[in-house]
Structure 1
Amino acid sequence: MTKERRKDMIYLDYNATTPVDPRVVKAMTPYFTEIFGNPSTLYGLGAHAHDAVAHARQQVAHLLGAQASEILFTSCGSESDNMVVKGVALTQQAKGKHIITSQIEHPAILEALHFLEQHFGIEVTYLPVDHHGLVDPADVAAAIRPDTILVTVMFANNEVGTIQPIKAIGEICHQQHVLFHTDASQAVGKVPIDVADLQVDFLTVAGHKIYAPKGIGALYIRDGLQLEPLLHGASQENGRRAGTENVPYDVALGAAAELMQAELPQAHLRQLRDDFVAQLRKVFGDEIQVNGDLAQGLPTTANISFLGHNGAEILRDLPGLAATTGSACHAGSKKISPVLAAMGVDPQIAAGAIRFSVGRYTTQSELDHAVHLLENLIHS
């Protein structure tokens, strides 16, 4: 994001997407024009490209506490989610057709499951969440059946920032010999992740959430697991995803992962977010409601309902403030957020919700100005 652009707009929607970091652009640029070889070829250009992809795979693996052999590059988080849900359904048919998830998952999970329900006879249990948006691990344990083939629960919710008890769920799944996937698109790089400690079998990464370009993602697949590919063809990605490797974008994701690793645990962003919420509480008092649990949630996210107001109308009247009424995938909808509905938030309160999310380039002065803009509009 250029300085000129930021002067015109206060960007508080990092959960929707992040600008590509200039250091990431610098790392990927040579692979468009200079080192443009096909990684599957044996001569110099191809070998250099192959080595670059291997290095990027190691960088992503390091961020997750994984082995490089366990990292599969994809086109996005949604592809990674679809590959797990559909791939497990195909490879585990002999065991059963039951999958467990939560009511507040990303559409990439929910729509993939609906597809499997409609066309493959998969039975899905949709677990409830509490008023903070938390799944109870005891509910997971109670829902597991002999024919359960997969549990998929997101690491952190994109709208309210709630971090799920992934380790506890992982332990339950491991004890019951059920595969476990978590969509960590919002959590990667914001909180420390160690896939072995969490006992996850699959984990989704989305590049554009960590300052890499849109159009690149990754999927952690625990060594030894078989997963039916979504794309069939040649033997790229160890036979798990056909198609010539997107070398520049693979390199970009690797560079972005390394930069995120250096910034953990994002304490400075939590402080910025907390100061912003404190200012809003000082100005608006009981005219606002915080949705979710700030203390236990992502350090970057605050979902705030402005009571008696409509969140979409507030944002419409503040074109210089970039935030959203929910996830970017639902931003065009006039209905209240399904996430807030699942949390039991009153519909009138949910209608006033705005998600603010800070990131690498957020400044205190921007947040101060955002509070000023909101105060002038709502108290005018």
Structure 2
Amino acid sequence: MIYADNAATTRISDRAFEQMLPFLREQYGNASSQYSLGVKAKRAVEHARKQVAAAIGAEPSEITFTSGGSEANSWVLRCVAETYHNESIHIITSTIEHHSVLNACRALEQSGVEVTFLPVDNTGRVLVEDVKAAIKHNTKLVSIMLANNEIGTIQPITQIGAFLKGQDILFHTDAVQAVGHIPVDVDDLRVDFLTASAHKFNGAKGTGILYKRSGLNLPPLLFGGEQERGLRAGTENVAGIVSAGFAIEESISEMAEEAKRLRSMVEVTVEGIKEKIPSVRVNGDTKSCLPGTVNLGFNGISGESLMHLLDLKGICVSTSSACTSGKDEPSHVLLALGLSEQQAKSAIRISYGRYNTADEAKVIVKAVCDAYAKIIDNL
């Protein structure tokens, strides 16, 4: 099997797995317990908090662990709205956000919150000028993702953050696809909230990360005990948190070299497919993008059919976000780029990761070209 859908999830790294395993068996204490077994678990959680904070330029006290990126995104949006519930609220986001942001915003609209969904250009990039133009007297939050999960386009978060600095407007970025793959520093980005997820950078599933700038108030997500400084009640997922700490540390240490390798694999993939299928198009920004992700459109065929033929050959790619797979609907991201419904349905996403090789990229090129030819012959 060749797994090339790392934007959906990643294989846990050997080091992260080895480090978390004792906390599933020998060191299985509750991190809130006061005896030695619990104290060891608590120390492990706090060590992971330091590892995560160091990776994104934050302080450990600014990091809260959640069950995943979706939970963290929902927490920011819902609790900002709750904080200003007695006031008129306006939120700015984009049309290509992850559904955990889009659906949270749509739910808030039902409760009277005004939401502006900014368009993107044909590369999937939000224009800073559009953000500036959308600001209103009651704008409380801007939420723009750092890198898109379907096309890999990186957004101008630093420029947006610089514009918002000094204004009474909170700034959140969904960095789930970015953390561990490109440099991320919360001070450089000038964000108030940042969200991430361990399983996107070779950690275990079930552990999310919320960065909240020091001094900001955020109502608790869950009520109960005093875990996570009273912000998120419930027994901590110690093993998952430990995996997140070591996985992010490992990803950061290898980032520059890994990005160079992944970009080379994407280049080989695109050039190889274009040689046999000149009409193939790259959806998204080919320059300001994640190193291992490429979204390809094929005229006149179904991306889903192509995906299934590749699956029969033991190759895993996707047609859209894993959160929307199985629905016979075109990608909202690709439609936002200006593509037609048919063009949006003709696309596949290939996302390489740490455990892919250059030889696998060559295998994928041949498999895609063969599958495409088979579909065309049967039309």
TM-score normalized by the length of structure 2? 0.95
Look up the SS of the partner of 2:116 in the other structure: strand
Distance, in Å, in 1 between the alignment partners of 2:180 and 2:3 is 19
Residue 121 of structure 2 corresponds to which residue in structure 1? 130
Larger mean CA deviation between 276-285 and 191-200 belongs to 276-285
Spell out the pairing of 1:251-290 with structure 2 (5 A cutoff): 251-265=242-256, 266-285=259-278, 287-290=279-282
Distance, in Å, in 2 between the alignment partners of 1:77 and 1:259 is 20
Measured against aligned partners, the alpha-carbon deviations of 1:193-245 in whole angstroms (never above 9, x if no partner) come to 01011100000111111111111111000001110122111111111111111
Contact 1:96 1:149 in 2 (8 A): no
Q: Are residues 1:367 and 2:358 paired?
A: no
Contact 1:95 1:149 in 2 (8 A): no
Residue identity in the other structure for 1:166: I
Residue 343 of structure 2 corresponds to which residue in structure 1? 349
Structure 1 residue 42: deviation in Å?
2.3
Distance, in Å, in 2 between the alignment partners of 1:10 and 1:318 is 10
Measured against aligned partners, the alpha-carbon deviations of 1:6-56 in whole angstroms (never above 9, x if no partner) come to xxx221100011011121110001111211222222221111111110000
Distance, in Å, in 2 between the alignment partners of 1:199 and 1:245 is 29
Measured against aligned partners, the alpha-carbon deviations of 1:140-182 in whole angstroms (never above 9, x if no partner) come to 1111112111000011000000000000111122232200000
Larger mean CA deviation between 183-192 and 263-272 belongs to 263-272
Number of residue pairs matched by the alignment: 370
Q: Are residues 1:195 and 2:186 paired?
A: yes
Distance, in Å, in 1 between the alignment partners of 2:23 and 2:3 is 30
Residue 68 of structure 1 corresponds to which residue in structure 2? 60
Q: Are residues 1:21 and 2:13 paired?
A: yes
Contact 2:142 2:169 in 1 (8 A): yes
Q: Are residues 1:89 and 2:81 paired?
A: yes
Q: For 1:226, which of 204, 217, 228 is the aligned residue?
A: 217
Contact 1:81 1:204 in 2 (8 A): yes
Contact 1:157 1:163 in 2 (8 A): yes
TM-score normalized by the length of structure 1? 0.95
Structure 1 residue 94: deviation in Å?
4.5
Distance, in Å, in 2 between the alignment partners of 1:274 and 1:317 is 23
Spell out the pairing of 1:42-57 with structure 2 (5 A cutoff): 42-57=34-49
Structure 1 residue 300: deviation in Å?
1.0
Spell out the pairing of 1:330-349 with structure 2 (5 A cutoff): 330-349=324-343
Distance, in Å, in 1 between the alignment partners of 2:149 and 2:42 is 34
Larger mean CA deviation between 369-378 and 154-163 belongs to 369-378
Distance, in Å, in 1 between the alignment partners of 2:322 and 2:373 is 27
Larger mean CA deviation between 72-81 and 339-348 belongs to 339-348
Distance, in Å, in 2 between the alignment partners of 1:225 and 1:357 is 36
Distance, in Å, in 2 between the alignment partners of 1:154 and 1:28 is 29
Identity fraction in percent: 47
Spell out the pairing of 1:131-280 with structure 2 (5 A cutoff): 131-265=122-256, 266-280=259-273
Residue 3 of structure 1 corresponds to which residue in structure 2? none
Structure 1 residue 95: deviation in Å?
4.9
Residue identity in the other structure for 1:46: G
Q: For 1:317, which of 303, 309, 321 is the aligned residue?
A: 309
Residue 377 of structure 2 corresponds to which residue in structure 1? none
Spell out the pairing of 1:101-120 with structure 2 (5 A cutoff): 101-118=93-110, 120=111
Look up the SS of the partner of 2:310 in the other structure: coil
Residue identity in the other structure for 1:182: T
Contact 2:268 2:362 in 1 (8 A): no
Structure 1 residue 348: deviation in Å?
2.5
Look up the SS of the partner of 1:205 in the other structure: strand
Residue identity in the other structure for 2:55: L
Residue identity in the other structure for 1:86: R
Residue 6 of structure 1 corresponds to which residue in structure 2? none
Distance, in Å, in 2 between the alignment partners of 1:322 and 1:41 is 43
Distance, in Å, in 2 between the alignment partners of 1:197 and 1:291 is 28
Larger mean CA deviation between 82-91 and 331-340 belongs to 331-340
Residue 90 of structure 2 corresponds to which residue in structure 1? 98
Distance, in Å, in 1 between the alignment partners of 2:3 and 2:16 is 20
Look up the SS of the partner of 1:318 in the other structure: helix
Distance, in Å, in 1 between the alignment partners of 2:319 and 2:69 is 21
Residue identity in the other structure for 1:148: T
Distance, in Å, in 2 between the alignment partners of 1:331 and 1:225 is 36
Structure 1 gap segments, 5+ residues each = 1-8
Measured against aligned partners, the alpha-carbon deviations of 1:34-93 in whole angstroms (never above 9, x if no partner) come to 112222222211111111100000111111111111000000000000100001111133
Measured against aligned partners, the alpha-carbon deviations of 1:344-364 in whole angstroms (never above 9, x if no partner) come to 013322221001000001111
Larger mean CA deviation between 168-177 and 338-347 belongs to 168-177
